[in-house]
Structure 1
Amino acid sequence: MCGIFAYLNYNVNRERRYILEVLFNGLRRLEYRGYDSAGISIDSSLPPLISDHSNGPSCNCPPPLVFRQEGNIESLVKSVYEDVAATDLNLEESFSVHAGIAHTRWATHGEPAPRNSHPQSSGPGNEFLVIHNGVITNYEVLKETLVRHGFTFESETDTEVIPKLAKFVFDKANEEGDQTVTFSQVVFEVMRHLEGAYALIFKSSHYPNELIACKRGSPLILGVKELTQDENIAASFQDVKFLSNNGQPKELFLSSDASAVVEHTKKVLVIEDGEVVHLKDGDVSILKFDHGKGKHSGAFARPASVQRALSILEMEVEQINKGNYEHYMQKEIHEQPESLKTTMRGRLIRGDSSKSKTVLLGGLKDHLKTIRRSRRIVFIGCGTSYNAALAARPILEELSGMPVTMEIASDLLDRQGPIYREDTSVFVSQSGETADTLHALEYALENGALCVGITNTVGSAIARNTHCGVHINAGCEIGVASTKAYTSQIVVMAMLALAIGGDTISSESRREAIIDSLFDLPNKVREVLKLDQEMKDIAQLLIAEQSLLVFGRGYNYATALEGALKVKEVALMHSEGILAGEMKHGPLALVDETLPIVVIATRDACFSKQQSVIQQLHARKGRLIVMCSKGDAASVCVGGSCRVIEVPQVEDCLQPVINIVPLQLLAYHLTVLRGYNVDQPRNLAKSVTTQ
């Protein structure tokens, strides 16, 4: 969804050109999230160094500059420097303290256009500016109220009500004689009126050199880099409480994604829902927002402050670079052997004897007994994460002996489907911030279910708010189309099945075979990656096609869904994953000599049924591409009339990890050959943090 980035330097001299480049580079790191416009705001000239509002918050500072542009970030960069040249703005002017904000927007309310881009303003003079990720659900009511008070609106966005509401609160306080209203008090009063999900950063000419960040349901982090008097040398500290106003040079970063911060610092604070972070005079104040407190008092309540320790990012700068690959998606497909190995490291135990073969999931060990006593397990997710859970459902049912149901998060909420205290609800999300999945988590918690999180992001909202969980350790995933996170999710859920199944004697040999296959899985993925050129050749054959069907069954129904999803989301080609058992109930009508069809027919309990499907499709002259286990080409390809993709054989419950890789490669090559942007597919974003 949208990307937020802000940079504040304190007591360290930075030229305007440097500040601009930090903001631009921050936005570039957020490009992968998807966007259609971008904007920034910087100060027009040197503001006062001391933000002392004891005599009132008014300021004679010139209004901040706002630049907004439709299109990509480089279009914004070009327009900014053109405007700078036209106005003779001094790029070499140095600021010892400066607060700049930046944003990439993915259109929700209003078309992509400069007027709808962020920062959104309170009006002429840019007294209050806001960048926003999320959706304000009651913006129409707020807008009507503000219009009645004389405000005019320039955009169609829901965001514009926020800075205008801030100005309304500020002006009203001054009219009532409250000349000491602080920036945080203004923001708190604004937050009391907002409904929906948001991450916000406020900048104001009335409070120069200050920034305020707050969130509810959308991700936001603070990065902190404290410097010695030699501004090029970073000092070490461990806790926000050490960030007092001691004149120590420092740089502070706010971002909706760690990838924009990691190149500057690894010391971060993950901002929690209901927290307001106030950056002022080099100090970081964390205030707790209580929606009810002061709501009816008619006065500004004094917010409670909290202290929390910083955490260290595990991400490396190298992870957010493409390396020797042309695209992030290509890089992440080829990183899967290593991401799988990392996911299993320390969790699979295989000694010299069979009794030492086991699984250790530290995040679940204290809750396994409760999970085993559950009446059912409910998997909840969206998109690729849902498909990963679907791939793991059969082995979980087999080893646990428990009923396992599947729920698409948005549909569960729409139906208000039953969730019971005796249920274990498993929430699967790559980002850990998926809006629908988060709302489903809130719903399950309200209903008393045990909630388990499976995410790829430490400190994410799902990781923080579930009772227990597993971090999949797939590493940073930049491409919008999930690849290595998907395969690691399947592996984690297979290990979850092993852990829940325990040490029952009846399943001992099956468990051992799965664990052995897990250990060998990275090597098998390396083997299947050698099909890269073959999949490129097949993509070349499909480049002009308008549609593609993918048939799967059993464990590989999920593979059909996920393979089709990859093709449609990046190659912009209609593709449909179909349960092969449903072929005669409608889909067979589509089959003719022009429609390309992929059939997944690797060795498992459904193999003979898939052979029958292939024969029926062949009888209707279907253009078949069959994925089979090595050595099975002759038994699946009727009369040599179809294209065959042979893949390594592993345990049936892990075969979806192998089988999805050729389809990932197919989607990648098809996209590149069709001339589309594989890392930023049209209309899509990496983390769907709004509904």
Structure 2
Amino acid sequence: MCGIFAYLNYNVDRKRSYILQVLFNGLRRLEYRGYDSAGIAIDSSSPALDLDPNTPQCSSISTTASPPLIFRQEGNIESLVNSVYKEVSEVELNLEESFSTHAAIAHTRWATHGEPSSRNSHPQSSGAEDEFLVVHNGVITNYEVLKEMLIRHGFTFESETDTEVIPKLAKLVFDKANEAEGDQVVTFSQVVLEVMRHLDGAYALIFKSRHYPNELVACKRGSPLLLGVKESKENMVAGSAFEDNNSLLKNDNPKEFFLSSDPIAVAEHTDRYLEIKEDEVVHLKDGAYPVLKFENDKGKNGGSLSRPASVQRALSVLEMEVEQINKGHYEHYMQKEIYEQPESLTTTMRGRLIRGGLSKSKTVLLGGLKDHLKTIRRSRRIVFIGCGTSYNAALAARPILEELTGIPVTMEIASDLLDRQGPIYREDTAVFVSQSGETADTLLALRYAADNGALCVGITNTVGSAIARNTHCGVHINAGVEIGVASTKAYTSQIVVMAMLALAIGGDTISNQARREAIIDGLFDLPNKAGEVLKLDEEMKDLAKLLMSEQSLLLFGRGYNYATALEGALKVKEVSLTHSEGILAGEMKHGPLALVDENLPIIVLATRDACFSKQQSVIQQLHARKGRLIVMCSKGDATLVSPGESCRVIEVPPVEDCLQPVINIIPLQLLAYHLTVLKGLNVDQPRNLAKSVTTL
């Protein structure tokens, strides 16, 4: 979805050229999330230099700040960069001008309200004089009502966005507050808190204003936001920012602040950060950064704005290396993340698989669930809820969960559950699967399940995400940063986590001990098998060359590998823009068989499991109708699955049947990757897609 970023230097001399580069690099870090336009806002001059509030350009402004410079551009980040430098050159703006304190904001937009265009890009403004500017990640659900109200107050709108109501509302609040408060100073954070009182929806916002030069205010409700703080230790006062971020006194230590919707944009600058929690507001002013808690019942009466107390919070250490967010020697992030799967699988299992001693059985330890396992075992059913790739991962793990636990497992696509208002009971365990932990439909389903009294379990790749915070318990998959929009390593790690979940819930009963130990042995060996299957890269590249001109591709799977067929088809369609469809092989004769001819390429997943003989039959039936077959099988089974020389066979390493989807998806990920590269398309930022979909 959209990405927001802001930079404020305090008592640190920075040239305008440096500030621009920080903003541009921040946006580059965020562009993997998906975007169609971008924009920035910086100061035209230092506020301290403009001492006359009656100058023509500031005649209606009650401060000394000059109008900000706003640059907005449809297209990619480099289009914005080029347009900024072109405009800077045309107006002869001094890039060498230095600022000891400066506040700047930036944004990458993924269009939801209004087509991609400059006028719909952010920052959005309060009006002609740009008194308030806002960048926004999320959606305002009551914007139409607010827009009508603001029009009645004389505001005119330039964009089609829901965001534009926010800065205009800020101006209205500011103007009314100054009339009501008289000589009392209305703070920037008070204005923002009152704006929040009128907003419905999910959002992370950063405000910049000419009325409050060199200040920024950010707030969060339902969308991710964090603050990075960079302060050299030699300049620190004992007990200052690293220990107490909420001092309301002026703190003159030189420092730099970085606000972002994603830690990726902060990691290269500092490892000290503050996660902004739900309904919190952070106010960057005079080197301090108090955190305030929004309380909806305050400020409703009396006509004056609320003055909430600060929240005591401490900075945390950001456990993310710059190397994790660089491509290294790989050409694309998707390629890098496919090849990182042996490592990500190892990390996912580290400390969670217990081999046991001579007298102890092999077992699984999931610390985030240990206090809730008895409740889960007593569940009426386990309901998996997710979207897209996360849904497919849960589907791949469903059979082993049912086998080991004996508890019925149902699957729900989050949006469909909400549309139907499907039944969720107090006796249910609802498991919410999301790579980002911020997926809007999954979050809404979580609230729905919680309201209905279910035990809510989260499986995410993002510590501190909304799903991680709002579930009763959960498991962090530890797959590492995933930047490519098409999920790869997070998918395989999700399957592994859910296999371990099945082992943890199933318990150590004698009847399934041999099966459990075989699965645990398979899990230990899984990273080696993933490394082995990556050797098929060139073979999948050759296959991609044969398929790159095709218009459609079918994938048939059954049992554990029905999910593999769905996920493989999803990867092909989302990055290579080739129509592909995953089909349950048991349904082949109930319609899909009509599509089969000598031209349509068909991939059949026929690795060793309980459905192997049935897949052999499917292959024979497709061959009898002159189907153009590509069969994936376990090593050594080529002669058992190939009906003739026209059939292309891909052999993969065999693993325990419930873990085979982890191995089988990797060649299909490689196929999707190579198809996309050969077509000359953008692998990491597929058309129309975003990494974390936080809109409805």
TM bracket, shorter-chain basis: over 0.9
**Equivalence map 1:68-83=2 (5 Å):** 68-83=72-87
Aligned residue number for residue 27 of structure 1: 27
8 Å contact from structure 1 (residues 229, 248) kept in 2: no
Query: Which residue of 176, 196, 199 corresponds with 1:194?
Result: 199
Shift of 1:78: 0.9
What is the alpha-carbon distance in structure 1 between the residues aligned to residue 593 and residue 627 of structure 2? 10
Are 1:403 and 2:419 matched, yes or no?
Answer: no
TM-score, structure 2 normalization? 0.96
Q: Cα deviation per residue 1:557-611 (whole Å; 9 max; x = unaligned)?
A: 0000000000000000111100000111111111111111100000000000001
- CA deviation digits over 1:270-316, x for unaligned, max 9? 11111011111111111111123222442212223211122211111
Contact kept in structure 2, 1:57 and 1:181, CA below 8 Å = no
Provide the residue aligned with 1:614 in structure 2. 619
Contact 2:248 2:290 in 1 (8 A): no
Give the counterpart letter for 1:111 in structure 2.
E
Q: What do residues 456-476 of structure 1 show as CA deviations (whole Å, max 9, x unaligned)?
A: 111111111111111111010
- The answer on 1:427 being equivalent to 2:432 is yes
2:512 aligns to what SS in structure 1?
Answer: helix
Structure 2 Cα separation of the partners of residues 147 and 386 of structure 1: 43
Q: Which moved more, 1:132-141 or 1:509-518?
A: 132-141
Query: Cα 1:242–1:301, aligned 2, differ >3 Å: closer, same or farther?
Result: closer
State the match for 2:656 in structure 1: 651
Match of 1:279 in 2: 284
1:95 counterpart = 2:103 = no
Residues 164-221 of structure 1, C-alpha deviation per residue, up to 9 Å, x if partnerless?
A: 1111111122333535221111111111111111110000000001101111111111
The Cα of 1:230 is off from its aligned counterpart by 6.5
Is residue 2:26 matched to residue 1:38? Answer: no
2-structure distance, mates of 1:247, 1:584: 74
SS of 1:248's equivalent?
coil
In structure 2, what residue type is equivalent to 1:459? Answer: G
**Structure 2 match to 1:142:** 146
Equivalent residue number for residue 208 of structure 2: 203
The residue that corresponds to 1:320 in the other structure is 325
Aligned amino acid, residue 127 of structure 2: G
Matches within 5 A, 1:86-485: 86-179=90-183, 180-228=185-233, 237-241=242-246, 245-353=250-358, 355-485=360-490
Is residue 593 of structure 1 aligned with residue 595 of structure 2? Answer: no
Question: How far, CA to CA, are the matches of 1:403 and 1:544 in structure 2?
Answer: 43
Change (3 A) 1:58 1:251: same
The alpha carbon displacement at 1:66 in A equals 0.4
Report the Cα distance in structure 1 between the residues aligned to 2:303 and 2:580, rounded to whole angstroms: 57
* TM, length-normalised to structure 1: 0.97
- Distance (Å, rounded) in 2 between the aligned partners of 1:639 and 1:21: 59
Q: Secondary structure at the match of 1:509?
A: helix
Aligned mates of 2:131, 2:385 — CA distance in 1:
44
Q: Secondary structure at the match of 1:639?
A: coil
Q: CA deviation at 1:413?
A: 1.0
CA RMSD in angstroms, aligned pairs only: 1.8
**1:199–1:219 contact (8 Å) kept in structure 2:** yes
Give the superposition deviation at 1:244. Answer: 5.0
Would you say the 8 A contact 1:228–1:248 is kept in 2?
no
Q: Which runs of 5+ in 2 are unaligned?
A: 52-59
Q: Tell me which amino acid in the other structure corresponds to 1:73.
A: I
Shift of 1:428: 0.6
Deviations 1:402-460 (A, max 9, x none): 01111111111111111111111111111111111111111111111111111111111
Bigger drift between 263-272 and 34-43 goes to 263-272
Are 1:15 and 2:50 counterparts? no
Distance in 1 between residues matched to 2:693 and 2:676, nearest whole Å: 22
Contact 1:57 1:182 in 2 (8 A): no
Q: Distance in 1 between matches of 2:540 and 2:588?
A: 25
Q: Which amino acid aligns with 1:20?
A: L
- Per-residue deviation, residues 371-429 of structure 1 (Å, max 9, x unmatched): 11111111111100000000001001000010111111111111111111111111111
Aligned to 2:55: none
Q: Bigger shift: 624-633 or 180-189? A: 180-189
- Aligned identity (percent) is 82
Q: Is this contact kept in 1: 2:50–2:65, CA < 8 A?
A: no
Q: How far, CA to CA, are the matches of 1:243 and 1:24 in structure 2? A: 31
Distance across 2 between alignment mates of 1:335 and 1:63 = 47
* Equivalent residue number for residue 683 of structure 1: 688
1:61 CA drift (Å):
1.4
Query: How far does residue 352 in structure 1 lie from its aligned partner after superposition?
Result: 4.0
Q: Deviations over 1:107-136 (max 9, x none)?
A: 111111111000000111110000001111
Residue of 544, 549, 555 corresponding to 1:544? 549
In structure 1, distance between residues paired with 2:338 and 2:104: 36
Alpha carbons 1:565, 1:576 under 8 Å: kept: yes
CA distance, structure 2, for counterparts of residue 631 and residue 410 of structure 1: 42
SS at match of 1:578: strand
Matching residue within 618, 621, 626 for 2:631 = 626
**CA distance in 2: counterparts of 1:461 and 1:166, whole angstroms:** 26
Q: Helix, strand or coil: the match of 2:500?
A: helix
Partner AA of 2:100 in structure 1: S
**Whole-Å separation in 1 of the counterparts to 2:535 and 2:258:** 42
Q: Which deviates more from structure 2 when the two are superposed, residues 638-647 or residues 328-337?
A: 638-647
> Take 2:246 and 2:171, find their aligned partners in 1: how far apart are those partners?
31
* SS at 1:682 equivalent: coil
Q: Which amino acid aligns with 1:334?
A: Y
State how many pairs are aligned: 685
Alpha-carbon separation, structure 1, partners of 2:619 and 2:381: 36
- Asked whether the equivalents of residues 50 and 281 of structure 1 are also in contact (C-alpha less than 8 Å), the reply is no
Q: Which secondary structure does the structure 2 equivalent of 1:116 belong to?
A: coil
Report the alpha carbon displacement of residue 641 of structure 1 after superposing the two structures with TM: 2.5
- State the one-letter code of the partner of 1:3: G
Q: CA deviation at 1:60?
A: 2.3
Does the 8 A contact of 1:229 with 1:249 survive in 2? no
Q: Which amino acid aligns with 2:336?
A: K
SS of the aligned residue for 1:214 comes to strand
In structure 2, what residue type is equivalent to 1:164? K
Q: Say if 1:48 and 1:208, in contact at 8 Å, map to a contact too.
A: no
Secondary structure of the residue aligned to 1:631 is coil
Q: Is the 8 A contact 2:48 2:64 kept in 1?
A: no
Confirm or deny: 8 A CA contact 1:395 1:494 kept in the other structure: yes
Alpha carbons 2:177, 2:304 under 8 Å: kept: no
